[in-house]
Every structure is written in C-alpha cells, then in structure tokens.
Amino acid sequence: MTERRETGRRTPRPGARRPGKAPRKPTPKLGAEAPGERIAKYLARAGVASRRACETLIEEGKVTIDGRKVKTPAEKVTGREDIRVGGLEIAAPERARIWRYHKPAGLITTNSDPAGRRTVFDELPKSLPRTVTIGRLDLNTEGLLLLTNDGGLARALELPGNDMVRTYRARAFGRVDAGKLAKLASGITVDGERFGKIEAELEQETGANSWLRVSLTEGKKREVRRALEAVGLQVNRLIRISYGPFELGELKPGAVEEVPANLIEDALPGDMLSKARRTSEKPRKSPRGPARSRLGKPRR
C-alpha cells in the first residue's frame, strides 16, 4: 500500500478548485441534454407574460440568472437559480392546476377584443391567478371551458393526437335521419376543409328543432356548427358538456370551480402531467379507471 505523504503544499485532487480560479465545468457527454426547461417557458409558467413576450424581455436584456444577463430564450433553468426580470425576483411556478368554467353565450374566448365585446376574462373572478384557456368556445357557444395556469398542459390537452373527446348538446333546425348521421361519422369536407369522424345521435325532437349529442376530437374553428350545417341542420344553440374526462355537470352559468389535484392525477396520463413540469408534484397514484363522472362534481 502506498503511503500518503503530508507536505506543506498538497497536490490538488482531480477536479478540485484552485485558489483564485473559477471551477471548471464538466464536459457534457455527447448526446446529453442539459437538465431543466427553457427560460422563456419557465417565465411564462411563472405568470410573467406569454412565452413570446418573455422572449422579448430576454432580447431586451431584462432577464438575469444568478446576476448575469440571459442571451437566449433557449437557455435552461431548473428553478434553483436566482431568476429576475427587471431586477424583480421571480418565484418558482406552482403546480399545474385546472378550473371548470361554465361559459355563458355572448362572451368571446380571448384576452381582449378590439370591438369592445365582453371576454371570458372580463367575467372571471379577480381572485383567480393568471390562466389560459384550454381550447376555445365561440361567441354564441356556451358550456364547459377549461382554464389552467400551465400553458404546456393547455397545449397537450388541445392536441388532436391525445384524443380528448369534446362532447356537445346541439339544438338544430331541420330533420335528422340516419343518412345525415352516417355522413358525419365517416368524416366530411366543408369549404375545402376536412373534418374527421363526428359521432352524433338524436336525443329528442321538439317541433321543428332536434337535440343531438355530438362528439369529436379535433376542435377546429366552429367545427360542430359547420359540419351540421353541411348536412342541412342549422344550429341555434350549442352547449359543450364535456372535454376529455372533465364534465360540465351541474355547474351554473358564469360559475368557476377548481378541479381537485387528486382528480386531475387520476384522469390524465402521467406523461401528460410530467410534460407540464409541475414543481410540487406528489407521487402519482395508480389509475382507478374512468373518472369521467367524478370530475364534473366536487368530492364530498
């Protein structure tokens, strides 16, 4: 065994910091990706501004990490750094949250309107944190509109590939028959735009109008109205009653209610939640099967 020698000047250990010199950064392995998430996305999730606006703040030199100016919105952070915008410290984003909102007809789903029309954000309680909508409902459509504080989760829930079924009750003028429903089920092209499979079933007839239950996964602009009009059914009332596993339930028009965190975990795939990069995540529970009806009602 080699004897360790003690002298007045020790030979530095490999990788040890020498006095007066900055520590050497480890050389990243080929193909390895830096941990964390992009600073622009992190700031957007923290409620600073939209991601694009955060990128502008970075370009203007207003964002610092541990005292140095950020040069690119692609730089990654873990949340353990001292992150500031305009000298103000930014708190770490909170966990992803979802609210159910019963949107009344006559409101537009946008932050502001040049024509001065009322928006959903004009009507939401001021006590809510900064939120974004998951998808949209047009001016005259009412019913379930989901809100979240996490833009990444909103985008994940909007993607057609995630098969989030949107279900509506539609009152339409015109006669419903099997041929019209079959056309919708096989997909239909309207004004050069192709709509995928739309499941529609007749619920009841009331004079010249009919109530239908309509389900689809795409959520293109005015898709339900345009598709039904293409088969001779003029929609005069449209109510969204569910979005994926989340239901309108008995929520009153204009009311907003947060979905409990445990119900979100039960209902959504784990990989979808991990993409939202929640900062206070608890260990995921095992799925308990369909949670569809439970998410429309508060747990007693």
Tokens 């991601």 locate to: 51
Q: Are strands 188-190 and 193-195 parallel, antiparallel or unpaired?
A: antiparallel
What percentage of the chain has pLDDT greater than the value 70? 78
> Which 3 state secondary structure label does DSSP give 121?
helix
User: What pLDDT digit, counting tens, does each position of 172-221 carry?
Assistant: 999 999 999 999 999 999 999 999 999 999 999 989 999 999 999 988 88
Q: Are the C-beta atoms of 85 and 48 separated by less than 8 Å?
A: yes
Residues of the chain with CATH 3.10.290.10: 37-89
CATH fold for domain 165-243? Alpha-Beta Plaits (3.30.70)
Task: Report the predicted TM-score, pTM, of the whole model to 2 decimal places.
Answer: 0.67
Closest CA to 24 of 14, 10, 39: 14
Tell me, what's the pLDDT at 30? 42
Top-level class of domain 94-162+248-281:
alpha beta
Active-site residue set: 138
Q: Which two tokens stand for residue 107?
A: 């409101």
Tell me, what's the pLDDT at 32? 45
Between the alpha carbon of residue 160 and those of residues 61, 155, 169, 219, the distances in Å are 37, 10, 20, 8
Q: Which amino acid is at 152?
A: G
Q: Are the C-beta atoms of 243 and 295 separated by less than 8 Å?
A: no
* Domain 37-89 falls under CATH 3.40.50.1970: no
pLDDT band at 279 (very low <50, low <70, confident <90, very high): very low
Q: Exposed, middle or buried: residue 138 (CB in 10 Å: 0-12, 13-18, 19+)?
A: middle
Residues of the chain with CATH 3.30.70.1560: 165-243
User: What pLDDT digit, counting tens, does each position of 98-126 carry?
Assistant: 999 999 999 999 888 888 899 999 999 99
Q: Are the C-beta atoms of 129 and 47 separated by less than 8 Å?
A: yes
User: What pLDDT digit, counting tens, does each position of 20-51 carry?
Assistant: 444 444 444 444 455 788 999 889 878 788 78
